[in-house]
Amino acid sequence: MTAVQKNVIKKDNQFLDNENVKALLLFLLSLGIFLLFWEMGAKLKWFAKGMPTASLTIQELWYWVTHPFYNNGPNDLGIGWNLLISLRRVAIGYTIASVIAVPLGILVGISPVAFKAFNPYFQLLKPVSPLAWLPIGLYLFRDSELTGVFIIAIASIWPTLNNTAFGVANVDSSYLDVSRTLGASRWRTIFKVIIPAALPNIISGLRISMGIAWLVIVAAEMLLGTGLGYFIWNEWNNLYIPNILVTIFIIGIVGIILDQIFAYLEKLVSFGKK
C-alpha cells in the first residue's frame, strides 16, 4: 500500500470529516440554539404577550402524538382524526383531478394545434389562487365537504395537466422516428412510446399538484369545519397558541412524507436521467 492510499483511508476514517455528519451536527446545534432562544425569550417576555415556551409546545406535541384519536364532538376532535379527514379530502379531490388531468394532458399534448389552442386556458387558470374558487364551490354544492374536495381538485389539476401536455408534446423526436421506421400504429406509438417517454414529466406534475393540494387544504378547511385547517382555526378561537404550533409541525411532516412518495416514483421512472 502506498503512502497516498494510506492517507486516503485515514481520511475516510475520520468521522467528523464526513459531510453528512457535519451537516447533522450543524443542524442539531442550530436547533438547540433556536429552542434555547425560544424558551428564554418566552420566559423573559421578549415576544408578544402569551407566547408559549418551547418546553410547553413540545409537551403539547407529545400529548397530541400520544393521544391522536379521541372524539368529544366537532370542536374537540383528536388531531389524528382531523389529519385523516384532511387526507381523505385531499385524496378524493386529488384523484379526481389526476384522472381528468393526465388523459386530457395527453390528448392536448399529442396535437400541436390543441396544445396551442388550449394553452391560454391553462395559463390563465394556473396562477389563480384556489381559494378564489371557494365561493363558487359553496354556491354550486351548498355543502362544505364537497366544496373542500372541489377546491382541492381545481387546485391540483393545473400542474399535472400542464406538465403532462408539455411532456407529451416534447417527446424526443428520435423515439418517434424509431416508431415510424418500424411502421408502428398510432395507438402503439402513443401507448408504447409517447406515454412512457412523458412519464417523468407526468410524475413531476403529479408531485407539484400534491404539494399544492396539501397547501390548499389547510386554508380551505379554516372556512369549512373539521380537518387540520379547522383545528388550527379552532385553537385560534381558543387563543391557545401551542396547539397551533404543534399542528404546523404535523402539517409539515405529513407534507414531507407525501412529497417523498412522489420523489421515489420520479426516481423509478428516471432511468439514469438526473
Partner 1 sequence: MTLDTLDSDSIDLNNTATNYQISLRNISKVFPGNNNLLDKLTGKTKADFTAIEEIDLDIEHNTFVTIIGPSGCGKSTMLDIIAGLSTATTGTVTIDGQLVDKPGPDRGMVFQNYALMPWMTVKDNIGFAVKTVYPKMPVKQQRRIIKENIQLVGLTGAENKHPHELSGGMRQRVGIARALAINPQILLMDEPFGALDALTRGFLQDEIERIWEQQRKTAIMITHSIDEALLLSDRIVMMTKGPAATIAKVLEIPFPRPRDRTTVENHPDYLKLKQQMEDHLYRETRAVEASRIK
Positions in the binding site for partner 1 (CB under 8 A): 172, 174-175, 177-184, 188, 192-193, 196-197, 199, 269, 271-273
Closer by beta carbon to partner 1, 256 or else 268: 268
How far apart, in whole angstroms, are the C-alpha atoms of residue 16 and residue 181? 57
Smallest distance from partner 1 to CB 174, Å: 4
Closer by beta carbon to partner 1, 13 or else 174: 174
Closer by beta carbon to partner 1, 10 or else 188: 188
**Assigned C-alpha cell, 253:** 411532516
Closer by beta carbon to partner 1, 52 or else 167: 167
Smallest distance from partner 1 to CB 165, Å: 20
How far apart, in whole angstroms, are the C-alpha atoms of residue 111 and residue 159? 19
92 within 8 A of 149, measured Cβ to Cβ: yes
Smallest distance from partner 1 to CB 36, Å: 48
Smallest distance from partner 1 to CB 162, Å: 22
Residues 6+ apart with CB under 8 A from 234: 75
Smallest distance from partner 1 to CB 55, Å: 51
Nearest to 94 by CA among 207, 202, 196: 207
Smallest distance from partner 1 to CB 106, Å: 16
Longest dimension (CA), the chain: 78
Closer by beta carbon to partner 1, 194 or else 224: 194
Closer by beta carbon to partner 1, 140 or else 178: 178
How far apart, in whole angstroms, are the C-alpha atoms of residue 104 and residue 98? 10
From the number of C-beta atoms within 10 Å of its C-beta (0-12, 13-18, 19+), residue 187 rates as exposed
Residues 6+ apart with CB under 8 A from 100: 153, 157, 161
